[in-house]
Amino acid sequence: MDREQGRSAIVAGAGIGGLAAAIGLLRAGWTVTVLERAPQLREAGAGWSFAPNALRAADALGVGAEFRACSVPTEAGATMRLPGGEYLMRFQPGADVPLLANHRADLQRVLARHVPADRIRAGAEVTGVHQDGDGVTVTCRDGTEMTAGLLVGADGLHSTVRRRVWPDTPEPVFQRILCWRGVTKPGSAWPVSGFQTWGRGARFGAHPLTGERVFWFLTVRQEQPGARFADDLEEVRARTRGWHDPIPALLAATPHEAVLRHDIYDLDPLPSYVQGRVVLLGDAAHAMTPFLAQGACQALEDAAVLAAEAAGPVPESLARYDRLRRPRTQQVQRMARTDPRLSLSTTPATYRLMTAMTRLASSGVARRKSARLWDWTPPLVHTGK
Ligand SMILES: Cc1cc2nc3c(=O)[nH]c(=O)nc-3n(C[C@H](O)[C@H](O)[C@H](O)COP(=O)(O)OP(=O)(O)OC[C@H]3O[C@@H](n4cnc5c(N)ncnc54)[C@H](O)[C@@H]3O)c2cc1C
């Protein structure tokens, strides 16, 4: 393999993880090609929130200012209510750190602007991976092949790269959780400062977005995956009937077509994120439940660490990436799996205990717990060839 090919990378997947990885590798002087299965970059999706660790990763990747510009502070990380409206915990300005919420499509647009358009190939689904010593070759569904010195598998929960390179790893695990998400029409239910509401076996949350829109979600217990409903918005209304304002107003301001429904899966911890010249990142490596709102945050951290380590020779730098990323991401992954066992419990006694503990704990305890999760220092990403 010539020197040029040795510093070239293929990134499978143009989600937040893949785009962030491409940005970091480009900054580190690599030649990058992003292969995305979808015929074009998805403008779909709903909202999500980001904690300070994600912002630090975005800063390390050089996209922090634009990240903030497309986001809105939300108090939902520290304001917890009961369905009747009573506060279990309330965001305290100056003491609590607001999360930042944005629309997935807005963030994707921001990140995609940092990758030259001719480096992203849409409609390119990776179907095969082959390594031979100092190169890795991917095959796409249309039969085209491409070789590079590094392959980043950022192709999400059902990653083809993971399945090809780690054929013995178990399939994603359904966590008996169903989630609906929606976004209101601009200006129709505004302002909202962000909150979560804990019902028994059901949790509602809302975050303000740019453009006077509001993103909301409802997560519930669901024994089997694949449930279908005649009308998803009506189902959410039925399950939150009688819940406090502004929940009914948010649902009334949401068009039916803006409602998404997802079964929630995660992954069992993998024995390694690296094999030869192939590295996994984001959900492909450590898909987790959304209960800590950390999946995309961890993908950004991965991308910043990969970019910093990619200054060195590939096998050694990937080994360091694995050593740095696996313990942290797998700890967060475990916490995100454990959390809903309590917080989404349908058992009356557990629900009563959980709400009583939250009321007593105050936001100070929650603040310290979050600080431990968010306590992450980004590496320095060296720029240039
Ligand atoms: C309901 C819900 C709420 C969430 N809320 C939050 C939150 O508030 N905060 C947070 O930090 N995280 C949150 N997450 C987690 C977050 O969505 C994920 O962790 C994040 O999107 C992972 O990004 P990714 O780039 O790794 O994967 P993905 O976003 O899944 O992107 C993978 C990309 O790869 C492409 N692809 C797939 N297969 C191939 C292939 N074979 N070849 C080429 N391309 C391929 C896909 O089309 C896609 O574009 C939430 C998740 C869910 C389900």
Task: Please check whether residue 148 is in contact with residue 135, taking contact to mean a CB–CB distance below 8 angstroms.
Answer: yes
Predicted confidence at residue 326, as pLDDT, reads 98
Q: Compute, in angstroms, the gap from residue 352 CA to the centroid of ligand 1.
A: 34
- Would you tell me how many other CB atoms lie within 10 Å of the CB of residue 199? 17
Dihedrals phi, psi of 191, to nearest 5 degrees: -90, 160
Is 125 close to ligand 1, i.e. is its CB under 6 Å away? yes
Predicted confidence at residue 5, as pLDDT, reads 59
176: left (phi over 0), alpha (psi -120 to 50) or beta: left
- Kindly state the average pLDDT of the residues 196-221: 98
Atom of ligand 1 nearest to the CA of 51: 11
Chain-centre distance of CA 361, in angstroms? Answer: 28
Q: Compute, in angstroms, the gap from residue 111 CA to the centroid of ligand 1.
A: 14
Is 179 close to ligand 1, i.e. is its CB under 6 Å away? yes
Strand stretches in 41-97, DSSP E: 47-50, 72-74, 80-81, 87-89
Residue nearest to atom 51 of ligand 1 (CA): 290
State the pLDDT confidence band at 312, using cuts at 50, 70 and 90. confident
152: left (phi over 0), alpha (psi -120 to 50) or beta: beta
Atom of ligand 1 nearest to the CA of 285: 26
Name the residue of 10, 16, 196 whose CB sits within 8 Å of the most ligand 1 atoms, as the mutation to test its pocket: 16
Predicted confidence at residue 357, as pLDDT, reads 86
State the pLDDT confidence band at 318, using cuts at 50, 70 and 90. very high
Dihedrals phi, psi of 275, to nearest 5 degrees: -145, 115
- Kindly state the average pLDDT of the residues 140-154: 97
SS3 249: helix
pLDDT tens column, 160-170: 999 999 999 99
State the pLDDT confidence band at 3, using cuts at 50, 70 and 90. very low
Predicted confidence at residue 362, as pLDDT, reads 66
Closest-CA residue to 344 (of 192, 171, 196): 196
Mean pLDDT of the chain: 94
Residue nearest to atom 38 of ligand 1 (CA): 155
Q: What is the DSSP string of 316-354?
A: HHHHHHHHHHHHHHHHHHHHHHHHHHHHT---HHHHHHH
The lowest-confidence range among 212-216, 350-354, 366-370 is 366-370
- Kindly state the average pLDDT of the residues 216-234: 96
pLDDT tens column, 49-64: 999 999 999 999 999 9
- CA distance linking residue 219 with residue 380, whole number of Å: 37
* Cα distances (Å, whole numbers) of residue 277 to 26, 199, 252, 259, 352: 17, 47, 50, 40, 50
Atom of ligand 1 nearest to the CA of 38: 47
Name the residue of 10, 33, 34, 36 whose CB sits within 8 Å of the most ligand 1 atoms, as the mutation to test its pocket: 36
- CA distance linking residue 359 with residue 356, whole number of Å: 5
Dihedrals phi, psi of 190, to nearest 5 degrees: -150, 145
Which domains are delineated in the chain? Answer: 3-173+266-374 (3.50.50.60)
Is 297 close to ligand 1, i.e. is its CB under 6 Å away? yes
